[in-house]
């Protein structure tokens, strides 16, 4: 088997036309997170979550098998989906956007994918208000212009969240709690990619570019969720003026500080790159 990478929960290898995932959490917090959500029914809960996602009508990489191996590790076999991750595709589009003096065709292509993510989230929510998605752009593969969800672990149901969790587990769950929290998280992923790319192109006004990105994002929410939802999102977004309760709210606070002229582009890039889930996990291993 050829090892192709490692995520928060699995080491992934290719075997024929399948991806073999062996549970190998990056940190003790990852392990605690899965255990908290599934208790002693890990396989059962993942199968339930995968089934619900399929019933919602979104495209999910087929799960061929899931079991606990002789070494007591969780094993999952999924069909190999060919294509780039959405994260890579967004980086590529942003580079073309920057290199071609903000040619709108690259921006339009980028937001077609952003809209697809919002559509996916809306479809899942309409099927079952209890289901949550991790909208990390690394969790989707672009395949024939469709977005395929490749990550079904951990299984996220709002009803399994508890208000009694302590730091830092409460931070992870907060980013999935409501639709607005999920939008804040998703915009946080986008913002980090924008800042990373455009920090190298000093001839552009990053503030104008980010504000345009936000306006388009709000319009997409309005289109798929309605005016009340987009107003609520905008109000909450503007409310986050200081560091928030989680990594993604911290990024939004940076956005607002940058727009208000309180921090420079260099500091925005430095702090935005510092705020990451992986850093949080490593610091609490």
Count how many residues are written for the chain: 285
- The residue among 168, 165, 217, 170 whose CA lies nearest residue 189 is 217
Rounded average pLDDT per 10-residue block, the chain, 285 residues? 74 92 83 87 96 98 95 94 96 94 93 98 97 95 95 93 75 88 96 92 88 97 98 96 87 95 94 81 57
pLDDT at 32: 83
Boundaries of every domain in the chain: 84-283
pLDDT at 163: 73
**The tokens of 76 are what?**
């999952």
- CA distances 86 to 105, 174, 234, Å, are 18, 23, 25
The DSSP code for 128 is: -
Question: b vs e for 157-178, b when ≥16 Cβ sit within 10 Å of the residue's Cβ?
Answer: beebbeeeeeebebbbbbbbee
- Burial (0-12, 13-18, 19+ Cβ within 10 Å), 240: buried
Rg (CA), the chain: 19
pLDDT at 282: 61
């Amino acid at each position: 088997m050829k090892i192709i990478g490692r995520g928060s929960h699995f080491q992934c290898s290719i075997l024929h036309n399948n991806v073999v995932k062996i549970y190998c959490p990056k940190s003790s917090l990852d392990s605690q997170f899965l255990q908290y959500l599934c208790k002693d029914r890990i396989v059962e809960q993942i199968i339930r979550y995968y089934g619900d996602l399929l019933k919602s009508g979104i495209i999910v990489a087929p799960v061929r098998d899931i079991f606990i191996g002789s070494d007591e590790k969780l094993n999952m076999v999924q069909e190999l989906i060919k294509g780039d991750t959405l994260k890579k595709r967004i980086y590529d589009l942003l580079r073309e956007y920057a290199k071609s003096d903000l040619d709108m065709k690259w921006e339009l292509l980028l937001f077609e994918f952003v809209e697809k993510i919002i559509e996916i989230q809306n479809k899942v929510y309409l099927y079952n208000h209890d289901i949550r998605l991790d909208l990390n752009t690394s969790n989707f593969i672009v395949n024939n212009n469709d977005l395929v969800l490749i990550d079904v672990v951990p299984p996220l149901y709002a009803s399994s969240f508890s208000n009694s969790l302590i730091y830092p587990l409460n931070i992870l769950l907060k980013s999935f709690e409501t639709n607005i929290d999920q939008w804040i998280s998703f915009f946080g992923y986008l913002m980090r990619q924008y800042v990373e790319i455009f920090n190298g192109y000093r001839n552009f006004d990053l503030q104008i570019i980010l504000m345009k990105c936000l306006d388009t994002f709000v319009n997409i929410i309005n289109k798929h969720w309605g005016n009340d939802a987009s107003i609520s999102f905008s109000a909450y977004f503007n409310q986050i003026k200081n560091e928030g309760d989680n990594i993604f709210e911290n990024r939004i606070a940076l956005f607002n500080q940058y727009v208000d002229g309180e921090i420079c582009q260099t500091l925005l890039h430095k702090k935005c790159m510092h705020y990451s889930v992986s850093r949080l996990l490593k610091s609490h291993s």
